[in-house]
Structure 1
Amino acid sequence: MKREAVVTGVGVVAPGGIGAAAFWDMLTAGRTATRGITLFDPAGYRSRIAAEVDFDPAAHGLDEQRTARMDRYVQFAAVAAAEALADSGAPLAGVPPWRVGVSMGTAVGGTTRLDREYAVTSRGGADWVVDHTATAPHSHLALMPSTLSGEIAELVGARGPVRTVSTGCTSGLDAVGYAAQAVEDGLADVVVAGAAESPISPIAMACFDAIKATSDSNDDPGRASRPFDRHRNGFVMGEGAAVLVLEEASAARRRGARVRCRVAGFANHGNAFHMTGLRREGTEMARAVTTALDHARRSATDVDYVNAHGSGTVQNDRHETDAVKRALGEHARRVPMTSIKSMVGHSLGAIGSIELVACVLAMDTGVVPPTANLATPDPECDLDYVPVTAREHRTDVVLSVGSGFGGFQSAVVLDRGE
């Protein structure tokens, strides 16, 4: 019998909502979490706004030792993983640790700590020769993206396949897709999968300022993220984490777990084109969609909801619109498609997993979240983006797509399974 991967638990740390319930309440209300940056002084930056997480590690059970060791993004992941495991209902009971895996994604890893420690060792950049004795004991961990998966593996006692995925802004989708493959291929019976990011730091904001990818609507932060709107002018940086517990389907049912959905299909393709640019026609994203649907044994007309990448940049939104039309044909005009980045910003590698949690909750509740701030549609973005207000809509099959710097194009299909 073919092995299948199902989702039995979710956890999320997002701007405006820590925990799945608070997160979903914010999304369905159409509230935005964007504000002026408070994590550092953004004076002099082109973009001075972001979607920050109001996060107190102690309030979420992280002691001083773990907080000192973990960078901010790893702290997010630990809290999200704890919620996902609790939501799943003891998925590790009776499972040998060799059959438990971890698959976590991040695009920029320990940027927050590296930025802070460099400022300390160089006296704010004044010294060319840095004082290594001023560096905090755990600073080396920020250099290793594998720290994220290592910490989560230690948290859950995983001794099976443990990996860190870093494919830019598709990392969160890819980490879950690879986790599902590990279950399908018989490499693990339970995989804790997701992604985390904390990129709201001076160096990261400066990098995106340089290429003018982020919005400079500093005077109106709540409306700055406007995917598919004629007046969009870039994405809003975000942060956060999301974790999903994936289990082999028959084992999950035997233990009486609540099966929330099946990870039915996954695919990723590169465009071999440009580090940041996109071909308008969206051929590679369309191919990722059709490949993922084939993996799921689903047709284009089966798709009930599309969770868009929807970053809010001019080229991405048009590229994605054309890709979905190419992949779904005429059905693309009948299916609702939304971008939650309009509310929680773009948390780079983490956003794909955060969006997958939103997809799971949309299936649970029969509601699709809106694309906030979509007031003046771009005539070249002419699909049903569910503007401003959430919509009741039964969802049995969800398609979530992502696009990342480096030419990465990914798609994940969730469904209710058998």
Structure 2
Amino acid sequence: MTRRVVITGMGVTAPGGVGIPAFWELLTSGRPMTRPITLFDATGFRSRIAAECDLHQAAHGMNTGWLDRYLQFAATATTEALHGSGLNVVEEDEWRVGVVMGTALGSAALLEQNYVVMSDGGSKWELDHQYGSPHLRLAWTPSMLGAEIARLCGARGPVHTVSSGCTAGIDAIGYAAQLILDGDADVVVTGGAEAPISPATVGRFDAIGVTSSRNDDPEHSCRPFDRERDGFVLGEGAAVLVLEELRHAIRRGATVLCEVAGYATLSSAHHMTGLTTDGRVLAVAITQVLNQARLGPTEIDYISANGTGTRQNDRHETNAVKLALGQWAYSAPMSSIKSMVGHALGASGAIELVAAALAVDRGVVPPTANLTVADPECDLDYVPDIAREHRVGVALSLASGFGGFQSVMALRRPDSGRGETSRP
């Protein structure tokens, strides 16, 4: 019997909104969260702005102890996702519950902080381990993200951490869905987490000139698809989803939010940071997803764009959608929530997938903020500035990453009689 994968719970830690209600209110208001960086002294950097999370552990009942910042984001989102799904792992076959999480940098910020301390601000070649965190060894282990979420959940099935750069979040969810389709798990807790706002990361992006330098007007700095854009804005956060095999969800009386209808990931094999203008590889990935889901182009009601706000990405993504959907590309609304919450690298694909799932569930398409001057090379319907009521039966979520990664996922409203939508 064919297995199907559905979403029954979601949790988010994002700039301007910890939790689904706050996150959705932020997106539908079209309010950008970019501000001057407060996590470190950014004086002297080319780009001194970012979209930071405001996570108060006590306010959310968390006891995260030694956990690195990105793990705190993930733990908070996981707690919300499990609560929203009504899943109690103790009542499940724990060997059939898995975890797949994605991150690009993992504990890179914590490693950087410890290096600064142990090297006396970089003045000493030999590091003094006495000044390092007692938990530093864990920061060297990327698998810690999956392991910590499994510990939090009590999951003893397959546990993995995916690190495929900026597509890590969506790739983790795609891999999680495949575990269920293959019969290796009935439930998988999955998503992505990232805390990249640190001197080393900001400096790396400064060096290649891909981040916005509109420091005097941070709120309007991230402008996907706009003629006046000058680069992306770093963000941070986490998003976690509970995926279940459909019959398993129905048996326990879970509310089905939407179905994972297809997933594909390909490599452009072109350039470490560059993208082809024609978008052919991303277009092929979209087509593969449509074929998996047995959908035609005209059945796509919304596209959650990668939408970084760089000229290269925006042209690439626009042309990919045109290649894959043909004339329908001009009819399907498409928007970028990075304009509001920034680019959270490995977590961005998961955060954007949650936004797409909410659009399916609630019949509202989030806007692209700061889109005021149309770019002639980007001529699709990017839902500028104002959220739009729009029935979304099928949504596509797109992701691109350094290294040439191109990933796509399709979400579909639950079939009639197979579950009802709800509002977490």
TM-score normalised according to structure 2 size? 0.97
Q: Which residue of the partner structure matches residue 62 of structure 2? A: 62
Q: What CA distance in whole angstroms lies between the structure 1 residues aligned with 2:154 and 2:199?
A: 35
- What SS is found at the alignment partner of 1:355? helix
8 Å CA contact 1:15, 1:53 repeated in 2: yes
Q: Does 1:233 align with 2:230?
A: yes
Q: Output the amino acid matched with 1:67.
A: G
Equivalent residue number for residue 342 of structure 1: 339
Question: 1:50: which partner in 2?
Answer: 50
Distance in 1, Cα, partners of 2:292 & 2:91: 30
Give the C-alpha shift of residue 93 in structure 1: 5.1
Counterpart CA distance in 1 for 2:90 and 2:132 is 41
Name the structure 2 match of 1:415: 412
Distance in 1 between residues matched to 2:340 and 2:91, nearest whole Å = 40
**2 CA distance for matches of 1:302 and 1:92?**
36
Q: Distance in 1 between matches of 2:398 and 2:118?
A: 41
* Aligned residue number for residue 168 of structure 1: 165
CA–CA separation in structure 1 for the residues paired with 2:248 and 2:332 = 33
Q: Which amino acid aligns with 1:163?
A: H
The structural deviation recorded for 1:125 is 0.8
Deviation, structure 1 residue 62? 2.6
Distance in 2, matches of 1:208 and 1:393, equals 36
Counterpart of 1:323 (choices 299, 303, 320) is 320
What's the secondary structure of 2:91's corresponding residue?
Answer: coil
Q: Does 1:375 align with 2:361?
A: no
CA displacement, residues 63-110 of structure 1 (integer Å, 9 cap, x when unaligned): 2xx332x11000000000000000001253532111000010000110
3-state DSSP of counterpart to 1:11: strand
Q: Which runs of structure 2 are paired with 1:161-240 in the superposition (5 Å)? A: 161-240=158-237
Q: Secondary structure at the match of 1:67?
A: coil
AA aligned to 1:295 is: Q
In structure 2, stretches of 5+ residues that fail to align are 416-424
CA distance in 1, matches of 2:106, 2:233: 19
What is the one-letter code of the residue matched to 2:99?
Answer: V
Give yes or no for contact 1:293–1:300 (8 Å, CA) kept in 2. Answer: yes
Query: One-letter code of the match for 1:285?
Result: L
Which residue number corresponds to residue 22 of structure 1? 22
CA RMSD of aligned residues (A): 0.9
Q: Secondary structure at 2:262's aligned position in 1?
A: strand
| Aligned equivalents of 2:273, 2:141: Cα separation in 1 | 24
The answer (yes or no) to whether the contact 2:8–2:255 under 8 Å persists in 1 is: yes
Distance across 1 between alignment mates of 2:251 and 2:296: 30
The CA distance in 2 between the partners of 1:138 and 1:210, in whole Å, is 31
Structure 1 residue aligned with 2:383, among 383, 386, 401? Answer: 386
Indicate if the aligned counterparts of 2:361 and 2:413 stay in contact, CA closer than 8 A: no
Q: Deviations over 1:300-329 (max 9, x none)?
A: 111000000000011000000000000111
Shift of 1:364: 1.6
Other structure's SS at 1:159 match: coil
Instruction: Within 5 Å, give how 1:267-306 maps onto structure 2.
Output: 267-306=264-303
2:308 to 284, 307, 311: 311
Secondary structure (helix, strand or coil) at the match of 2:272 reads: coil
Alignment identity in percent? 60
Paired with 2:402 and 2:88, the residues of 1 have a C-alpha distance of 35
Report the counterpart of residue 12 of structure 2 in structure 1. Answer: 12
Deviations, residues 149-197 of structure 1 (Å, cap 9, x unaligned): 0000000111111111111111111111111111111000000000000
The more displaced of 397-406 and 84-93 is 84-93
Paired letter, 2:53: V
> Which amino acid counterpart does residue 24 of structure 1 have in structure 2?
W
Question: How many angstroms apart in 1 are the aligned matches of 2:407 and 2:210?
Answer: 20
Partner residue in 1 for 2:112: 115
Q: CA deviation at 1:59?
A: 2.5
Structure 1: gaps spanning 5 or more residues: none
Which residue of 73, 81, 103 maps to 2:100? Answer: 103
CA distance in 2, matches of 1:61, 1:110: 23
Q: Distance in 2 between matches of 1:370 and 1:114?
A: 36
Question: What SS does the corresponding residue of 1:321 show, helix, strand or coil?
Answer: helix
1: CA distance, partners of 2:99 / 2:291? 26
1:399 to 377, 396, 399: 396
SS of equivalent to 2:397? strand
Counterpart in the other structure of 1:34: 34
Question: Does the Cα contact within 8 Å between 2:89 and 2:155 map onto a contact in 1?
Answer: no
Shift of 1:115: 1.1
Instruction: Give the partner amino acid of 1:394.
Output: R
Alpha-carbon distance between aligned partners in 2 of 1:366 and 1:300, rounded to the nearest angstrom: 19
Aligned residues: 415
Q: Deviations over 1:324-358 (max 9, x none)?
A: 00011110000000000000000000011001111
SS at match of 2:348: helix
**What code does the residue aligned with 1:32 have?**
P
Residue type of the partner of 1:145?
A: P
Out of 400-409 and 353-362, give the one that drifted further: 353-362
For 2:62 and 2:133, locate their aligned partners in 1 and report how far apart those are by CA, in whole Å. 19
Decide which of 350, 357, 365 is 2:354's aligned counterpart.
357
Q: Distance in 1 between matches of 2:71 and 2:293?
A: 32
User: Would you say 1:142 and 2:139 are equivalent positions?
Assistant: yes
SS at match of 2:124: coil
